[in-house]
Chains A and B, each alone.
Chain A
Amino acid sequence: MFKDKYKELMDSYKPSEELINRTVKLAKETKQTTSKKAKHKHLRPILIGLCLIVCTTVAYPALAATIKRIYELMYLAPPSVAETFTPVEISHESNGIKLEVVAIDISGNTAKVYFTLQDLIDNRIDKTIDLKDSYNIEGVGTAVCGCEFYGYEEDLKKATFMITITDLDSNDISKSITDNLTFTLKQFSHENQKYGFDESFKIPVNLEYIISDLKGTQEVHANGAGGDYEKYTGRKIFKEKAEAIIQNIAPVSVGIEGFNIIGAGYKDDKLHLQVEVSTGNTLNDCGYLYLRKKGDTKDVICLYNISFSNYEHMPNEDDELFPLRYEEEIFDIPKDELSNYELFGYFIKEGQVIEGNWKVSFPLTFEMSNSDQYQKNITK
């Protein structure tokens, strides 16, 4: 079982004795340092005040003139200190789309940060926008946070999102989060397009004209299988490789960009139809075929089907291969009756994915426009 193997693997990794001892030692030192610091706690506000006065009167004009040097300082400082250097940036434009933090609402242990996305050059933002998991929020420490769609302004083509940050220990959030928050977004997409679900989606092809002699079969690693797969093939799904037909016809579009029939023919008196999904999004885009006798309303579904791809794993940054997904369905329709059948399908295509590199950084205490007023103006 995977579970047992995985546990065995993880159990072979343990923090070393030396690491534990070092951490325990640090714990003891931290205790001592904390108690020493507590004695001088009343001096800290005075020292910070003095430093601020000196900095603003002496160094501020120079810093303002050479603001880029702040970034250079970041490379000299340790990571924990660098975070506090991050300049406040409440709006950022990437790929012609502007992300802007527009309001912050702090109430007890919860902070709500509102930001908008507005397309400055096109109409790529609508009310079906979905950030998925491609955002990241840094600097929240031990608090939990999430981001949700809040509203859409049709006239401005502007979508608003709300980040909620909650300190589960019920502390005042403005005191428990003192570092800058950094919100980054890499991509977003739109609502999926579905075909064949609300009403039948007829594929404009004549089956008897597209079928051709098969060019043989190939062994593939199936991502999944359905119907009576094991009964008809005698193979165990996941345990053994699956058999799929090799492309034997020129791609025939099903009527949706990125979905083409590339295999159609008979093997052992069974009709094999293979669809290639070349939308680039092989994780969520898929298509399934079925037949219907002309003049009939009854669907004829496949005996079994298999799904496979041209890569074994998820596409990632290192993959140079364009990901392709294949769905093959096998029907029990005699060849001489094929002219009596029409082809239909179900297809799901994920909405357009817009990529960018948006990043804003700000402290929770940053003064914003009136949040209450802002909320009233948003169409929920």
Chain B
Amino acid sequence: MKELLYNNDEDVITTYGNMIYHIALSKTGTKHDAEDIFQEVFMKYLKKKPKFNNEEHRKAWFIRVTVNCTSSFFTNVFRKKTRNITEDLIFIDKEMQDLSTELHKIPQKYREVIYLFYYEEMSINEIGIALNRKNSTVRTQLTRARSMLKEFMDMEDYYV
């Protein structure tokens, strides 16, 4: 367990900013929306000033709040019928563009599991706690997501 490492808000924003932005972007698919959620999450953090025991606790809080904010964002009356996905993303190459396109075809709730598992390298159990889902649900969602992304999967990706 890492002790609390960051005492000022700037350090917290730069440390957790990438993760929050990635989760928001992976769910919304647009930079514009991801930026809105990024700010909303940090505003909640700054206003609420939650107390944490360690950095894992703080990280779990940010994941939970980002997922909640993104879910609310999609059901908000002001959001409906507004934007399309991937309209403002620039890709490194064709393969990356294909991967990004395929990622946005899978359901949102699978995208966050993919991100936490493959990028944050969290275990099924840790993801279950962070997203408040049963381990079996997380495992099923991961399996389904892999099946949908099978073109990009190697055999070893199933055993990581």
Contact = CB atoms under 8 A, between A and B. Distances in A.
Q: Do A and B bind each other?
A: yes
Contacts of B77: 74-75, 79, 82
Q: What is the predominant secondary structure among interface residues of chain A facing chain B?
A: mixed
A26 B132 contact: no
Contact of A27 (B34, B35, B42, B51): B42
B149 to A, nearest CB: 7
Interface string A3-25: 10111111011111001101110
The size class of the interface chain B forms with chain A is 35 or more
B114 A3 contact: no
Contacts of A223: 147, 150
A14 B18 contact: yes
Interface string B136-150: 010000001001111
Contacts of B35: 15-16, 19
Interface majority SS on B: helix, strand, loop or mixed? Answer: helix
Contacts, number: 138
Given A6-B99, A9-B96, A169-B50, A20 B14 contact: yes
A10 B119 contact: yes
A141 B68 contact: yes
A169 B64 CA distance: 13
Interface in B47-91: 47-48, 50-51, 61, 64-65, 68, 71-72, 75-79, 89, 91
B18, B20, B75, B150 — most chain A CB neighbours (10 Å): B150
B96 A24 contact: no
A375 interface: no
A20 B118 contact: no
A237 B146 CA distance: 14
A232 interface: no
A144 B76 contact: no
A314 interface: yes
Contact of B43 (A20, A30, A136): A30
B13 A27 contact: yes
6 contacts: A2-B152, A8-B96, A133-B109, A142-B48, A316-B105, A316-B107
Interface of A: 1-3, 5-10, 12-16, 19-20, 22-24, 26-27, 30-31, 34, 74-75, 79, 82, 133, 136, 138-142, 144-146, 169, 182, 184, 221, 223-224, 238, 283, 313-314, 316
